Structure 1
Amino acid sequence: MPHRPAGPGPQHVTVFAFEGVRLMDLSAPLEVFTTAAQGSGSYTVQVCTPDGQAIRTSAGLRIEADLPADRVERTDLLVVPGPAHVSTLAQHPALTDHVARLAARSRRVASVCTGAFLLAAAGLLCGRRATTHWEHASDLARRYPDTAVTPDAIYIQDGPVFTSAGVTAGIDLCLALVEGDHGAREARRVARDLVVFLQRPGGQSQFSAASRTPVTRHPALRPVLDRIAADPAADHSPHTLAKQAGLSPRHLTRLFKDQAGTTPAAYVETIRLEAARILLERGETVTAAARQSGLGSDETLRRAFARHLGTTPSAYLARFRTARTGADFGVGTEKLRV
C-alpha cells in the first residue's frame, strides 16, 4: 500500500465494527479520537460495518454504522477492535477480507485486544512484532508463527501497524497516536477529559509485578513477598530474607523458584523497578527514584529499565514531563503488506 503523507485537513479515523465486538474495545478508540477532535486534534471519526447495518456488541448494545466497509474510500487510521470470544472470527471468515481491503486504503492500522487476530488473518502481522490480551497471546503465536508475539506488552508499533492489549491498553495506544499526531499537550488534554492516566509506554507490562506472581500461601514465603512489596528499598538480600523467613538461603531460593518461578534477587529487582517507575510518574528525578526504590544508583536503574522495559529512565520520565516530537508514532514510508 503506497504511503500517503498526511495533508493539512483533518485525519480520518475509521473504526471497524462487527457482530460480537467487545463494546469497550470499540468505544474506547471512539472516545479518544472524538474527544481529540473537540480540541486541537483534527480528526473525523466514522464507524463502518460489513454491510452498513447496525451491529450488536458482546454486551448486547446495538451500534449504528456510518457506512458499509466497501464504501470506505480512504482513511488515515483504521482501528480494528476485537470480539469478546475469538471463536467468533471463525464463524465469520468474511471479516478478514473486509479488514484486508480496509487496510489497503489506510495509512495506518491499529488493533485493540483480540483485533490482532483479524490483522494476523489478513496478513498484516506477517514478519512483525505484535501483542494482544495476555490470555490470548499464546494462541495468537501458535496460529501465526510468522508473527513475533510479545505477550506482556501494553501496545506495540511495528511500522504502520499498531497492536494493543485489552480495553485500557487500547486507550493508551490511541492516546499515543494522538500525541504523535498533535503533541503531548493535546494527548494530556484528552486524558484529563476522559479522567484516565496519560498513556503508559507500550513496553510496560500488562500487570503489576505483584499480580504477576503466582499466588502462594506457603507459611514461610508469603510473608517474605509481602515484606518486599511493602518496602522495596529495605535490605532484601538473600541472606536477610532467609533469616527473616527462618530458612537457609539455599532453601529460600528453592522455595522462590518453586512457588514464584524466579529467584529472590530477580523478584526484588522487579518490585524495585515497578516502585521506581511509579516514582518517576509522580515526578521524582531519576536519581531520587533509584534511591527511594532501593535500586541505588542511576546506572543500576538504567540497566533494570533496559532489561525489563526496553527503554531508559530518562526516556520514560520524558513521557510524563515533556512534549514529545511524535517521531515514534509518526507514519513511516513502509508499505502495509496485505
Structure 2
Amino acid sequence: MAGDEAEPQVRRRWRVKEEIPRPVANVASRVVWFLGRRCVELLLPSGQVRSSSLAVSVKPGSRAAMDAEGRVFVLENGSSAVWQVTGALELLSQGVEASRFRSSLGSRFVQCGDQLLVTGTPGPGAHTPWLFDLQSRTWQRLPDAPHAILSSAVVCSDEVTIIGGWSKMRSCHGFTQRLNLRAGGWQVLGDQVPWRRPGAACSWGAGALLALGWMECEGRVGADGFRLLRRNGAAQRAQSSSSRLVALQPSASGAGGLRVQEVAELPHADSFESLGQIFPSKLGVVCLGRDHVQIFGATGRTWQSWQSWPLPQELARDESNSWVKHCGSWAVAFEDL
C-alpha cells in the first residue's frame, strides 16, 4: 500500500562451502590388472576401482605375480623376459635370459619363495617348468613333468604341486604332480581330479584349495554320486554348468595319497582358464575368474557366505584379438594389505 514502508532489503552473503573429504575406502586387499600403459585396481572389500598410467607398455597376454613386499613382476608373453613394475618397468632378465623359452597364454607364473616359477611353454615345452632366481636374475630349467603342465593350477611352498594340465598331444588331464626342488624328482599323487577345463589353486593348511571352472557335472566333487557330463562348450551357462571350490588333502593312509573333497559351489559359474587365480587372504579365499571376483569367507575352520563383484568395467577397453581375450589379455596380481 502507498502508506506502507518498504521492507528493508536483506543482503545475502555467499561463502564457499568447505569440501567434505571422501571417506577412506575400507581396504584389506587389492587386485591389480596391467595391459598396455594402463593399470586398474579393485580395492576389497569396498569394491572401489582406481586407474593409473604406466610409463612402459605391458604386452597383451603377459602374466604377473606379486611378492609379500608388494613388488609386482611381469612375464612378457612370447618370451622369457621378466619385468619389475615400479611405476615404470625394469627389465630383470638381461641378454640371453630374456629368450630362454617362449612363454604362452597357458603358462602359469607364480611366486615361489624368493624365486619365480613358470609352468610349461608351447610345443615340446608343455612338460617343462622354469625357475627364475631374483638374486642372480637367471633362469633354471627344471626336470620335465610326467604329464603336461600347460594351463595347470600351481601351489608353491617347499615343494611345487601342479594340478591338471593340457597339451596339444594329450588334451586335458587331472593328475596331481609334485616336484621336490632340492631332490629334483617328480611324484604323481593319487587319483585324477575332474579336469575338463583349467582351474586355479592356492595353498591352504596342509593341502590346497582348487577352483574348477565351468564344470558340467552332477553331484559333489569327491562324493560317490558325482559324475561328469558330456562337455558342451556352447552351453557353459546351462543349469548343469557350475564352478566348484575343492580341497585337496593328504589321504589318511598317507603314502602319497590324495583326498579330494568339495568345499562349496561358487555363486557365479566362471572360467579360471589361464588368467584365473585364487589366493588365501584375510578376507577368505579370493577367486579371480574371467567375469567375477568372488570371496569365500572363513573364520577359523568355519566357512561363511560368499561375496562377489563383477570385474571393473575399465577392463573391457581391450584391443587384443579374440583368442588372447579368451585366454586372458590382462596381467593380474593380488596383494593382502
Larger Rg, first or second structure (1 or 2): 2
Which fold has the larger relative contact order, with Cα–Cα distance below 8 Å and residues 6 or more apart in sequence? 1
TM-score by length of 1: 0.30
TM-score by length of 2: 0.30
Greater share of residues in strand: 2
